[in-house]
Chain A
Amino acid sequence: MFRRRGDGLIASAMLAPAIAILSIFVVYPLGRAVWLGHLRCDATGRKCRTSGWMQYFDVLRSSDFQHALKVTFVYALLTVPAGLVIGVGLAVLADKQIRGIGFFRTIFSSTVATSVAVASLIWFVLLQPQVGLLPDMLSMFGVMKNPGLLNDAGTALPAIAITSIWANLGFTFIIVTAALQSIPAELFESAMMDGAGGWKRFTNVTIPMLSPTLLFVSVVLVTRAFQAYAEVDLLTKGGPNPERSTETVTYLIYGQTSLVKNDIGLKSTTAVLLFVILLVLSLVQFRSLERRVHYGN
C-alpha cells in the first residue's frame, strides 16, 4: 500500500476506538491484576500490604487451589473427549443425503441456541431429587435408588458434565459437519476402489482430513471447561459441601463461596494463575496436536 499525506492521522482515528477499549479493558486489567497479585488487600483494595511475588507460588500450591484445579481437570476430562466423540459420531451419522436429513441436522444443531445458563437451568429441573424427572425415572428403572445427583459428592460433577456435553453438542456438530462436507468425495471413492471398508475409510480418510477441525474444537471445549462458572453457580454453587466437589477454578475466584472474595490481592493472584493455565493449555494442545494434524493441500 502506498503512503499518502494524512494517512497517519486517519489511521490513528480509525484505530483509536478499538485500541482504547482493548487497552483500558483488556490490557490494563491484566497488567494491574498481575501487579496486585503480589499484594494482600482488603475488600476495597485500598489497604494493601506487600506479600511478595512468592504469593503466586503460595496460591498455586495451596490446597484450595489444587483442589479446584483437580476438579476442573476432571471436568475437562469428562466433557472434552466425550464431546469430540459424540460430535464426530453425530456428524458422520447425519452425513448422508437421505430424505429428511435436514430435520435431523437441525435437531442436532439445536443446542447451540442454548446459553450456559439456559442449559444449566433445563438440566437443573430435570436433575432435582423428588421433583425432577430423571431421578424419578432412574429409581423407577432401578438404576439408582434415590439418586442425589447434584447433591451427592460423587455424582455432582458428572451431572454438570452431562449438562455441558449436551449444551456443546450443537456447536461441535455444526463445525464437524461443515468440515466433513469439505472433504473431497474423490478421496472416499478412491479409498473405496482401493478396497477400504467403512471403518478403514473412517480412520484413513475422515479422521486425518478432520484433524485441524478436531484440534480447533478440542481447544474450544477445553477452554470452556476451564472457564466453567455459570453452570456451577446455577447447579451446585460449588458444592456439595464440605467436599466442594464442583468448585472449579473460576468458581473459586468469583463464586459465592469464594475464599478470595474479599481480598483483591489474592483474587488477582488466582485470576492471573487461571489465565496462565489457560494459556499453557492452549499452547500445549496446539503443539502436541499440530504434529499429528495434517493441513491438506
Chain B
Amino acid sequence: MAGVQLVKVTKNFGSVVAVDDFSLDIADKEFMVLLGPSGCGKSTVLRMIAGLEAPTSGEVFIGDQLMNGVAPKDRDVAMVFQSYALYPHKTVRANIEFPLKARGVDSKLRVAAVADAAAVLGLADLLDRKPGQLSGGQRQRVALARALVRDPQVFCMDEPLSNLDAKLRGETRSELVALHQRLGSTFVYVTHDQVEAMTMGSRIAVIVAGVLQQVGSPTDVYDRPANIFVATFLGTPPMNIFPAQLFEAGEHSVGVRPEHMRFVDSHSGGVEATIRLVEHLGHEVHVTGVLADGTVVVARHGGEEASPQSGDMVTVSAEARHRHRFDVSGRRLA
C-alpha cells in the first residue's frame, strides 16, 4: 500500500503561511494532480511529501507509516525537479545509476536497472553523454529515469513539463500517463497548467493561498466547481460570473461557462450585450461582448452557428441547468 495522507498539515515560513490546515488522501496507484496558481503552496505540499520540508504542524503518512522526522532518502519517494537537477559532471548513465550507487546496490543489479530504465524512456543511445549535450526533452527523461530506477512507492513531480516547448509538452504528457499506467505507482504531480491537470490526473486537488479548495476527478472539478475560484481557474476561456439578478432572482452569483452562453431572442429573457470582438480560431469561435454595466462576457461555440458581428447588440442567456450558483462568499450553492 502506497497511498499518501496529509492530515491537517500547516507550513509556515516565518510569518508567511504557505500551507494552511491541509488534509488530503491520495490513494495507492492514483495520479493526483496538485493544481493552483504560482505561489499557492502546491510545491510546498509536494516537498513535504518528499521530506524536503518538515510540516510546522500536522502529519504526513506514506503507505500508512508516519513520515514526520523521516529523512527523504528513507521514505521510498522519488522526486523529479522542475529544473531536472541532473548532475552536470556525470554521464547520463552515472546520473541514472546514482540513487542505486548511493544505497550500495550491487554493481550487476545496477547495470540491469539502468538498462531497464533507459529502455523504458528511450535513453539507451544517450547513456554516455553528459547532460550539457542533451536537449530539454532528453534531460527530462533522464530525470525520470533516475526517479524510475529506484522503483519507489511514490513519484513526486514538480512542474516537470514547464521547461519544454508546447509541442514537446503535449507528447510528454501522454508519455507520462502511459508511464503511470505501466508502473502502477502513486504519482503526485504539481502544475499550474489546467490542461495538464485535466488530461493527466485521475483526481485534481485545487489549491489557492495554501488552502485546499476542492479535490475530485477532472469532470467533478469542471462540472461542479466548489467555489468561484475553482470555477474560474479551470476552463479556457474562464467561466463568466454575473450577479444573479441578470438571469434569475436572488442575491447570489451565477456562473456560466462560455460554451453554455447562448445568443437568444430578446423576448426569452437574458441580458443585453454589445459585441466587442469575434475571434475565429479555426475549430471554434470566441465572441466577447460587454454588458451595460461593463461586465465582460465571453461565449464560445463550435463555429457551426453564425456569429454576430462586432458592434452588434445581442441578448445572451444560459439554460438554467448550465448555471452554476455561488453564495456571497463564493462557495457553491447546491
Q: Which residues of A contact B (CB under 8 A)?
A: 184, 186-187, 189-197, 200, 204-205, 208-209, 211, 294, 296-297
Contact = CB atoms under 8 A, between A and B. Distances in A.
A197 B72 CA distance: 11
A193 B87 contact: no
3 nearest A-B residue pairs (beta carbon)? A294-B89, A194-B99, A190-B85
Q: How large is the interface on B (under 10, 10 to 19, 20 to 34, 35 or more residues)?
A: 20 to 34
B54 interface: no
B88 A190 contact: no
Given A194-B146, A196-B102, A200-B102, A294 B73 contact: no
B73 A208 contact: no
Contacts of A208: 87-89
Nearest to B105: A195
A186 B88 contact: no
Contact of B78 (A193, A296, A297): A193
Interface in B32-79: 50-52, 71-73, 77-79
Given A196-B102, A209-B88, 4 more contacts: A190-B87, A191-B87, A204-B98, A296-B88
A253 to B, nearest CB: 42
B222 interface: no
B167 interface: no
B83 interface: yes
Given A193-B77, A195-B103, A196-B102, A204 B87 contact: yes
A189 B87 contact: no
B229 interface: no
Contacts of B72: 189, 192-193
B172 to A, nearest CB: 20
A190 to B, nearest CB: 4
Contacts of A296: 88, 132
A204 B89 CA distance: 9
A18 B270 CA distance: 80
Contacts of A205: 87
Contact of A297 (B51, B81, B88, B99): B88
B186 to A, nearest CB: 16
Contacts of A204: 87, 90, 98
Given A194-B73, A196-B102, A200-B102, A189 B88 contact: no
Contacts of A187: 85, 87
A120 B331 CA distance: 75
Given A184-B83, A204-B98, A297-B132, A193 B88 contact: no
B102 A190 contact: no
Given A204-B87, A205-B87, A208-B89, A195 B81 contact: no
14 contacts: A186-B81, A186-B85, A189-B72, A191-B87, A192-B73, A193-B51, A193-B77, A194-B73, A195-B73, A195-B102, A200-B102, A205-B87, A208-B88, A297-B132
